[in-house]
Each structure stands twice: as C-alpha cells, then as structure tokens.
Amino acid sequence: MKVLVIGGGGREHALAWRLAQASRVSRVYVAPGNGDTVSDERYDCIDISEPAALREWAMKEKISLTVVGPEGPLAAGVVDEFRAHGLRIFGPTQAAAQLESSKAFSKAFMKRHKIPTAKYEAFTDAAAAHAYIDAKGAPIVVKADGLAAGKGVVVAMTTQEAHEAVDFMLVDNKFGVTHNDGGARVVIEEFLQGEEASFIVMCDGKNVTALATSQDHKRLLDGDEGPNTGGMGAYSPAPVVTAEVHARAMREIILPTIRGMEKDGIPFTGFLYAGLMIDAAGHPKTLEFNCRMGDPETQPIMMRLKSDLFEVFWHATDGTLDQVELQWDRRVALGVVMAAHGYPLSPRKGDRITGIPAEAPDAVVFHAGTTQQDGELKTSGGRVLCVTVLADSVMKQAQQRAYEVAARVNFDGAQYRKDIGFRAIHARNTPHA
C-alpha cells in the first residue's frame, strides 16, 4: 500500500516515520516533506500543495491512504476534495475543521453544547472590544479569529496590553492572521489558571480512541517565559493528566464534542486535540480545539506508539475505531525543539546544519524547517529540528539524553530551551498513560 502524508513539519516527519514501519506499507510519500525526507530512501517527496492537484496526483499514483498533518490544508478542504473522488483520507472536513479555524465557531459550539471553557464575547468592532476590556479588567485573553500559527493569542496581564492586542488584531492585523468570512474578528475571554495539557484523540465520526497523554511548552524561553511559539518541546506521558482527569476530559469535553458535531450534522473525523487548562482541583476546561495532532507532541507520542499506525488509520477511515486498542511503550518520551535564529518573529533561513547523529532505537532527530541545498543541509523555517528520545520510566533521564543529542547538533543561531519536561520532572502525580 502507498500512503501520503500531507505536510512538511516535525509532526509529519514523525507520522511518516511510523507509517514507514507498518507491515502493509510499501511506500511513504510526503508533500512537501523536508530536508531529511528528500534524502532518506524510506520516503519520496512531492512538491504539490493545492488540494485538487494533490488529489489528481494521488489518484494517478493509486495512493491507498492519505493523512493530513497541518491545519492549513484541512481548512482549505483537502479532505472534502479527496473524499469527493473516492479517496481514503484521515482528517476533518472543511466544515468540521472550523473547530480550529474559527475561534468564534468553536466558542459558540462549546456554549451550545455546554462544554467547559472560558467565558467570552466575540467582536468585529474595535470600540466595542475596548469597552468590554474596560468593563472586565485584567488579566484577560484576546484571540484573533482565524488561523495564526499559534501566534494569534495575547494573554494580557494589564488592560493596556489587551487594548493594544485588539488594535493589533482588528485594526492592523500585525500577526498576519488568515481571516474568516466577514473580516477581522476577535474573541475576548476570561483568564483561566492552572496547568495545561494536550488531550489528543482519534475520531472516526462516532468512535473515539485517546492517544497517550502529552504536554508541550508553548513559550520560547526557559521557565515558560517569553513569547508564545508553535511549541518548543513536548513529552509523554503528562503527569497532570491522572486517570481521574482523563476520565473527566473524555466525559465532559471529548465525548460531548463528538456527539455535538454529529448532532449539528458535521460529524468529526480526524485527530481532535483539546488544549486543556486543568485547575488545582483537577477540573479540565477547554482552552482551544485543534483538528489535527500537536507539533511537537506528535514526535514523543509516535516514539511511544507500538501499534501498527497504518492499521489504526485504516480502522479510523472505515468507522471501526471501536475495534482498536492502542498499545504504548511504557517508557517516557521527550522532544526538544531546536529553532532558528530569530524565531518566532523573523526566523533566519540558510544556516548550515551539521552533527545530527544517526537514528537510534531510542533517539530520533525529526526535521521540520530544513532543506537540502547544494548538497548541504540548511535551515529553512522557524522550528528546525525536534530531538526526540525514549528513556526508562523517569523523565529526568529522557531530558538528559535529549540534551546530549542536541549538544551534538550545530547551526548558527540555534535556540532551544534547556528545561523541557520540568513540570513532569517535579510532578508527584501518576499519569494515566
């Protein structure tokens, strides 16, 4: 069977890597892939991104299964396009992907179906947004409505910051958000306190299977300081997701979401990623939905997955996920993102990368913003690599091992956090899985 993975980041590299190990898979295509997948004989890279052109190519190549990594192609309707021509693809339709692509849609959905989330209002008018902020006070959270690559959220500690964020998003669009129909819109919501976790499940429209638990670090700097990024590192399992929190998240958030989407006539198929805020009493609330896997959460999660990923996707696209029980490595996994100089605002391209060690059973360097140029590996994007390792049961060991590997990799201006996993290292809870 030939499979296609759409995307070129670390998440897609990890999915392609796991799929290449599946027994029924003969060839893994990645569109567009990265500087590793173009040179590794396990993969073929395809430089097509437009959904209809990709679908035509997939029909010609007789691709048996397609998996979509990033939100962009999902919001552009790639799943609808493939399905309309009878191709098997795992991901949500364009309508279902609104759970991620429109904050206004997902907040209204959660309100309607009584799914726990922060209280909010949506605004297109800047004056009304400013008045709301003055009425509510700080801290308060301002979110752009539309896809923003993790940069469309400002957690404002003062009302002045919140006012500036509104002008940024509604008036100037300085974050370069892709607006939804009706133009610029912001969601302003209540500030929630607690610890975050990435709760990711697979859905076939009806049945749900949870992946191993995980957490990421969204801030650029050690101690979870500095600006928000797409994610600077992740690990699995996440101690904050105890068996009890897991059961609550499934019962109060995930299942009502799947049932709600079914009821609203837009059944959800694909990965559903609920960003949770878990308070001190262990009550989860939904910060956001993503309709795809997390990056970099996928990298540690794929290191721990023991089940045949192709068979899992096959069931997921047949509507028989209830027949699947995912098997996880009992060891812990941790991934450290190495980012380019200037990330997240203006990542520099073209720095030469050296020293990446050969893949080992317990250590894989997944690529993201890399490219081959004149026979050399060069940086080509913000997040460049994700050094991902497995270690026996203790997160501290995984952290040490990941940093040993990262220390061998060189490129000018490389930035990475030195404390990935610190919450898990200091936690006393037992995670669910």
Nearer to ligand AMP, 143 or 248 (CB): 143
CB of 327 closer than 8 Å to CB of 295? no
x-or-dash pattern for ligand AMP, window 56-95, by CB under 6 A?
----------------------------------------
| Residue 394 Cβ vs ligand AMP, minimum distance, rounded to whole Å | 26
CA distances from 297 to 73, 103, 116, 174 (A): 20, 22, 23, 28
Residue 65 sits at φ, ψ, to 5 deg, of -150, 135
Other Cβ atoms closer than 10 A to 85 = 12
Complete edge-to-edge strand list for the sheet that includes strand 284-290 = 208-210, 195-204, 269-278, 284-290
Task: Report whether 271 contacts 209 (CB < 8 A).
Answer: no
Write each residue from 93 to 122 as x if it is in contact with ligand AMP (CB under 6 A), else as -, in one continuous string: -------------------------x----
Place of tokens 């050969």: 358
Q: Which residue is nearest to ligand AMP (CB)?
A: 288
In the complex, the smallest distance separating the C-beta of residue 74 from ligand GLY, rounded to whole angstroms, is: 13
Stretch touching ligand AMP by CB under 6 A, among 124-132, 186-194, 297-305, 352-360: 186-194
Q: How far apart are CA 322 and CA 55, in angstroms?
A: 29
Site residues (vs ligand GLY, CB under 6 A): 150, 216, 231, 290, 294-295, 297
Single residue of 48, 76, 155, 326 touching ligand AMP by CB under 6 A: 155
Pairing type for strands 89-90 and 153-156 reads unpaired
In the structure encoding, which two tokens stand for residue 392, read together?
């026996």
Considering the rule CB under 6 A, would residue 186 count as an interface residue with ligand AMP?
A: no
Pick between residue 368 and residue 398 the one whose CB is nearest to ligand GLY: 368
The Cα–Cα gap between 160 and 396 comes to 40
231 binds, among ligand AMP, ligand GLY, none (CB under 5 to 8 A by kind): ligand GLY
Contacts of ligand AMP in 272-311 (CB under 6 A)? 275, 287-288
Cβ 234 to ligand GLY shortest distance, Å: 7
Provide the residue type at 22 as one letter: A
Triad 197, 201, 206: Cα angle to 5°: 145
Residue nearest ligand GLY (C-beta atom): 231
d(CA 45, CA 35): 10
For 382, other C-beta atoms within 10 Å of its C-beta total: 23
Q: Which does 216 bind (CB under 5 to 8 A by kind): ligand GLY, ligand AMP, none?
A: ligand GLY
Q: 5 touches which of ligand AMP, ligand GLY, none (CB within 5 to 8 A by kind)? A: none
Q: Which residues bind ligand AMP (CB under 6 A)?
A: 118, 141, 143, 153, 155, 189-192, 196, 218, 228, 275, 287-288
